[in-house]
A and B are shown apart, each in its own frame.
Chain A
């Protein structure tokens, strides 16, 4: 969970004009992520296929989903802030109707997303939708 809206995050990342500025912005965004407790970082909550360790927990309240996520890598935590801003507060049906990868690509993270097959971001998006 973060206090930043999707628009605010998108604006910050879109202002980045180089890999270096994107890197620094992701590091800064990573600080917004509410970290999971060690007790929540279970094998079961782990998203498979990620290069760094990523944990994802889903809560539902009247059909509305809230996700919590964490990673042992900072850049990934920054990306998770962006992903959670897309996903939180929606129903499963809404999430399934979304093209999350395309939406995420609007955050100017293309160089992180091109390697998404290996870094597991697609796996995170899929888990959010199922």
Chain B
């Protein structure tokens, strides 16, 4: 399988658009990726040939929809190498997955217990734990990782007999750095904490193997891996899913109901109350197939090469500060002291270049970096070297226009 971004691009109709009278250069992929034709086709095919509610009355369409729905669970289980498709719970995204765990584990926390996260988390992997701590009297502790993702051995003391839950991102969304996830998981497991890995920024780029990671929970969003919005996954080991209190109750997740009692259904249904996002689930199959059809090694090498190109082009420019690592990343997060990132973003947008200016839902990390916001260019498989070059050129123009007083 040869990898060629230009060929791949043709599968993404939206990339043909112009934006503000310029060819669209979409470099906001860490926020959400564009969707290949195969995913769009899958959604259309679902509504034109299979639309029905799932797991309900037996009729032709319902059987078709249910079969495709459960096939998607198998597909995603294979995609992340889960041992069984029952370990895959559908959610609406990473945020909901984390909240399901944060509420579902509330019963096991008491004052003096500790919930451990790192300093590189997205608010989605911070606020639910902070609120859980507020509700239970447990302490939220933050393992300081450097912006290079470095972790010093003495930080092992953060993992202790009080640690009940350890939740950590695999890759920082704000600066694109990888965390030492395996070492940290090992330390967390040594103290018998529940472990959750936020894979939101990993799934589109790196093959994921949840059994190899050996975490209790792994969470991600479809929309960041070429699938539709509104669908996500909570993977869990059976014993871990089993102990989650269902946060949402209602139809589908029950076996038998009287006015005095309810017998819950088995996993995975017990944690999936109500009619699910069937089209999103079916879109996940197409997105997993799309990724599986690529040469994943060549793909990630390409994405990293684009980030590296930008890094190398800008690293000697004294007006620019880069917060992302030089290698092993698909993101370049930077700031230009004296110029607001929103102004830089405004000029890039006027030239058709889509990036993200802001705090990237990571206020504490911004404080650690000593900035209020950064400008983030994030690459996906369909980006080209000329797009990376265009980003650099337009950024330098912006600095010239904006930096004159």
Contacts of B340 in A (CB 8 A): 52, 72-76
B342 to chain A, nearest CB (A): 5
Contacts of B20 in A (CB 8 A): 18-20
Does B342 contact A76, Cβ atoms closer than 8 Å? yes
Q: Which residue of A lies closest to B21 (CB)?
A: A18
Chain A residues with a Cβ closer than 8 Å to the other chain, count? 16
Is B333 interfacial (CB 8 A cutoff)? no
Contacts of B405 in A (CB 8 A): 31
Does B349 contact A19, Cβ atoms closer than 8 Å? yes
Contact of B346 among A18, A23, A31, A72 (CB under 8 A): A23
Contacts of A117 in B (CB 8 A): none
Does B343 contact A20, Cβ atoms closer than 8 Å? no
Contacts of B349 in A (CB 8 A): 19
Does B21 contact A75, Cβ atoms closer than 8 Å? no
Does A27 contact B351, Cβ atoms closer than 8 Å? no
Is B402 interfacial (CB 8 A cutoff)? yes
Is A24 interfacial (CB 8 A cutoff)? yes
Mark out the residues of chain B between 355 and 405 whose CB falls within 8 Å of any chain A CB in the assembled complex.
Answer: 358, 401-402, 405
Interface string of A1-22 (1 = CB under 8 A from B): 0000000000000000011101
Mark out the residues of chain B between 337 and 359 whose CB falls within 8 Å of any chain A CB in the assembled complex.
Answer: 339-340, 342-343, 346-347, 349-351, 358
B266 to chain A, nearest CB (A): 43
A77 to chain B, nearest CB (A): 9
Contacts of A31 in B (CB 8 A): 405
Does B342 contact A73, Cβ atoms closer than 8 Å? yes
Contact of A18 among B343, B347, B350, B402 (CB under 8 A): B350
Does B351 contact A20, Cβ atoms closer than 8 Å? yes
Q: Which residue of A lies closest to B348 (CB)?
A: A23
Does B350 contact A75, Cβ atoms closer than 8 Å? no
A16 to chain B, nearest CB (A): 10
> Complex formed: what's the CA distance from A129 to B164 in Å?
51
Does A75 contact B343, Cβ atoms closer than 8 Å? yes
> Complex formed: what's the CA distance from A55 to B211 in Å?
52
> Complex formed: what's the CA distance from A72 to B402 in Å?
12
Does B350 contact A52, Cβ atoms closer than 8 Å? no
Contact of A19 among B342, B343, B350, B358 (CB under 8 A): B350
Does A24 contact B401, Cβ atoms closer than 8 Å? yes
Interface string of B154-191 (1 = CB under 8 A from A): 00000000000000000000000000000000000000
Is A94 interfacial (CB 8 A cutoff)? no
Does A74 contact B343, Cβ atoms closer than 8 Å? yes
Contacts of B347 in A (CB 8 A): 20, 23
> Complex formed: what's the CA distance from A49 to B21 in Å?
31
Does A51 contact B350, Cβ atoms closer than 8 Å? no
Contacts of B351 in A (CB 8 A): 20
Contacts of B342 in A (CB 8 A): 51-52, 73, 75-76
Mark out the residues of chain A between 65 and 101 whose CB falls within 8 Å of any chain B CB in the assembled complex.
Answer: 72-76
B147 to chain A, nearest CB (A): 23
> Complex formed: what's the CA distance from A22 to B21 in Å?
13
Interface string of B23-37 (1 = CB under 8 A from A): 000000000000000
> Complex formed: what's the CA distance from A20 to B401 in Å?
12
Interface string of B215-244 (1 = CB under 8 A from A): 000000000000000000000000000000
Does A74 contact B350, Cβ atoms closer than 8 Å? no
Given known pairs A20-B350, A51-B342, A75-B346, the reply for A27 and B401 (CB within 8 Å) is: yes
A91 to chain B, nearest CB (A): 33
B399 to chain A, nearest CB (A): 12
Q: Which residue of B lies closest to A119 (CB)?
A: B342
Interface centre among B20, B346, B347, B349 (most CB of A within 10 A): B346
Given known pairs A19-B349, A19-B350, A23-B350, the reply for A73 and B343 (CB within 8 Å) is: yes
> Complex formed: what's the CA distance from A101 to B350 in Å?
23
Contacts of A72 in B (CB 8 A): 340
Residues of B within 8 A of A (CB): 20-21, 339-340, 342-343, 346-347, 349-351, 358, 401-402, 405
User: 17 interchain pairs (CB within 8 A)?
Assistant: A18-B350, A19-B20, A19-B349, A20-B20, A20-B347, A22-B350, A23-B350, A24-B401, A26-B346, A31-B405, A51-B342, A51-B358, A52-B342, A74-B339, A75-B343, A75-B346, A76-B340
